[in-house]
Chains A and B, each alone.
Chain A
Amino acid sequence: EAGVVQSPRYKIIEKKQPVAFWCNPISGHNTLYWYLQNLGQGPELLIRYENEEAVDDSQLPKDRFSAERLKGVDSTLKIQPAELGDSAVYLCASSLGTSGMGTDTQYFGPGTRLTVL
């Protein structure tokens, strides 16, 4: 079974430029998550989707970040414009979405490492 796929794996851009990350979750997984992982820290949730609905985007900086999950499958996370402090790894994860009790295993992709110059 294929895991969570993310692209690109690496991206280098100059500040103020836009950037987009793509995620394809495991087939059949209804819940999709985007996380931000700064160097030397654990991941932090940015946004969670249940099918195509964003049900938790409280940690998403909405002035420059946006996300979408059209048709409830693939998802795109965008930053416009990028700032130096956005340099980090952006992780996508998915889960079946059958439990709201914290026992639904999340499967993570390899991440996209963003460098903003």
Chain B
Amino acid sequence: AQSVTQLDSHVSVSEGTPVLLRCNYSSSYSPSLFWYVQHPNKGLQLLLKYTSAATLVKGINGFEAEFKKSETSFHLTKPSAHMSDAAEYFCVVSPPGGYNKLIFGAGTRLAVHP
């Protein structure tokens, strides 16, 4: 069965410092992987997606993630946090042949302090 584990439920960083949100996936085959962000009272927004092309994926707002098959990881990073990055982040897996079914992790709440 496909699943994702987000290793931290809460992450707190200072503005201007790097962000690392960790995600491990479980999949028998090469899945599609996504990161979504959810700001309060707003819809989920796609940050980036991996679909078996380049292993380093660049997304919006300076975020990027690296697919590491050997480690079954898809960690999200950003070199310098901004106050507006404070939100809930979800790592998502879509199994191959799953007809676009998304399986969400439990989420990581990112807090950014001045």
Contacts and interface: CB of A to CB of B under 8 A. Distances in A.
A106 B46 CA distance: 8
B43 A102 contact: no
Contact of B96 (A42, A55, A101, A108): A101
Taking chain B's interface residues, is the majority helix, strand, or loop, or is none over half, making it mixed? loop
Interface residues of B, number: 26
Taking chain A's interface residues, is the majority helix, strand, or loop, or is none over half, making it mixed? loop
B98 interface: yes
A102 B44 contact: no
Contact of B44 (A31, A48, A91, A101): A91
A41 B99 contact: no
Contact of A100 (B41, B45, B99, B106): B99
Contacts of A104: 100
Contact count band on A? 20 to 34
A110 B42 contact: yes
B73 interface: no
Contact of A102 (B41, B42, B96): B96
Top 6 A-B residue pairs of the complex, sorted by shortest distance between their CB atoms: A42-B104, A102-B94, A102-B32, A108-B44, A108-B43, A103-B51
5 contacts: A42-B92, A102-B32, A102-B100, A103-B51, A106-B100
Given A43-B104, A91-B44, 4 more contacts: A42-B104, A100-B97, A108-B44, A110-B43
